[in-house]
Structure formats: C-alpha cells, structure tokens
Amino acid sequence: MIKKGFISFLSLLFLFSGISMNAQYSPDTVQLKEYESAGAYFGSYLSDGIDITSGPFHWNKKDWMLAGSTVAVGTLIYIFDDDIRSFFQKNRSSFTNNFSKNFIEPFGNGPYSIPLFGLLYLYGEIHQDSKSKIVVLNGVKTFVLSAAFVTVLKHLTKRHRPYHDLEANPRLWEGPFGDSDYTAFPSGHTLVSFALASYVSSAYKDKLWVGIASYSVAGLVGLSRINDDKHWASDVFVGAVLGYAIGKCIFNNSLEKHNIQLLPISQTGFGITLIKSYK
C-alpha cells in the first residue's frame, strides 16, 4: 500500500505540474474573450477540462525539466511529512486555530470567494465594465473545475489524513478501491485557492496588489490545513501546484489572441496599414 501510494503521489504530481507551462502569451497582443452565449460559456467547461488533462502531451524539453524539478521538491516534502506535521502541531495555538477557522479556511471552500465574485460582477454591471464580468464568469469556472478535479484525485488515491489513525502515518494510501472516508490527497482547499489566485492574478496582471493579495490568501489557506491537522504538507504542496496549473490553463484559454498584419495602403507601397484579426 505504501509503495503504490508513493507511486501515485509522484505520477499525479508529475502529470499536472506543467499543465500550463507551454501556453505563453503577451499582454500586448491578447485580450479576454467575451462569451457569445450561455451555451458557449458552459461549453468551455468541457473544452477547458480536456485541455487541463491533456496538457502534458504538449510539453517541450523545458516543461519536462520543470516538471521533474517540481517532483523532486514534492518528494522531499513527502519524506519529511511527519516531521513537518510535528512542528506545526507543537506550535499550534488557540490563535492559529481561530484565525484559520474564521478568516482563512472559508476562502478554500466558497463562503468568502463566491460572494467576492458576486460583488465584482455587480461592480461590472454598475460601471459597465465587461472585463470584471468576464473575470467573474471564468473565476466561477475555475472554482468548479478545480473542485471537480480534486474530488476525482481524492477518490483515486484515498490517502489517510493525519487524524485518521491513532498513530498518524503519512504513508497510508487506500487506492481507488479503498475506503471512501480517506480523502487527504491532494488538499482541496489549497488547490481551489491557488487555482483562483492563479487565474485572478493573471487576469489583473497590471495590478500588482491583486497578485500579492490572492497568493497570500492561498498560501495561508495551505498553512491552515496543516495547522488544523487536516492534511500532510505534501497534500498541500501538490494542491498548490495543481491549482496554479489549472488556473493558468483556464486563463490562457480565456485569452482572445489576434494576428497582426501590415499591408501597403496603395499599390505604390507608400505607407502601411495595421490590421488585427481576432480568433
């Protein structure tokens, strides 16, 4: 069980660590796509889901090297899971518990993030800001898809949480046919938080504070899961990696790329005109 669990850990981390690596863009030549209809929006859930799972098939050499480095870090954390848990539990206090429960954890499962998206959409309606509304639509999609993916992964691996056993053991995995009560890997709160941070910070790349705030909250969500003894550190690390990749993939798919052509104004060739074609 231990050997199979470790193989599952490495395989999933390697598979998803570079989902979004090969999708590059330039802020000067793209803009967020508007959805032509509700059907187009909901259809993008399927297309984005396919792109998330098929990303590794499009990796280049650099992507594979980055994925390998990520696996190395993840393996190191996995080896020291028990020690990291002990450190956090020894330094756990009523303050960290209350801060986690009342201020941080809700960002990872919807009670705070969904209302914030609602306020942003309302802002977009009042101020006729189409970008805000598009960000909200894609943000909700990021939340739904990341939650769906993490649920599938949890039930494929079925890892024991730290509190599940009288003597906590980070090497206990049940596999796809094991007891459905074991759903530690990866951390869902962390994955969803980093997916949202990845998408929102990319959409507002020109606003540095958005990236700082969103990734700070996502990082605190991950730490809170270790503090609360709900997850091993490796659950949190993998959740952060997968969430970041999923958010980036959805963002890259939400961009409206265009080609730029330079054509002569007349047959004499004096002067040029610039034509942008969107697709």
Q: What is the pLDDT along the chain (279 residues), one digit of tens a residue?
A: 555 555 555 555 555 554 444 444 444 444 889 999 999 999 999 999 999 998 778 888 888 888 889 999 999 999 999 999 999 999 999 999 999 999 999 998 889 999 999 999 999 999 999 999 999 999 999 999 999 999 999 999 999 999 999 999 999 999 998 888 899 999 999 999 999 999 999 999 999 999 999 999 999 999 999 999 999 999 999 999 999 999 999 999 999 764 444 445 545 544 544 444 444
Domain containing 154 equals 2-278
Residue 199, token pair as written in the block = 């998408």
- Length of the chain in terms of residues written: 279
Radius of gyration of the chain (CA): 21
Long-range contacts of 90-93 (CB under 8 A, 24+ apart): 92/227, 92/229
Number of domains into which the chain is organized = 1
* Per-residue confidence (pLDDT) for residue 74, from 0 to 100: 94
Measured distance CA(201)–CA(192) in Å, rounded: 14
Q: Which residue's structure tokens are 């189409």?
A: 130
Q: Rounded to the nearest 5°, which phi and psi values hold at 44?
A: -70, -20
What is the model's pLDDT at position 147?
A: 96
Q: What is the CATH number of the domain that holds 219?
A: 1.20.144
* Encoded amino acid at 198, one letter: S
Q: Residue 263: what are its φ and ψ, rounded to 5°? A: -120, 145
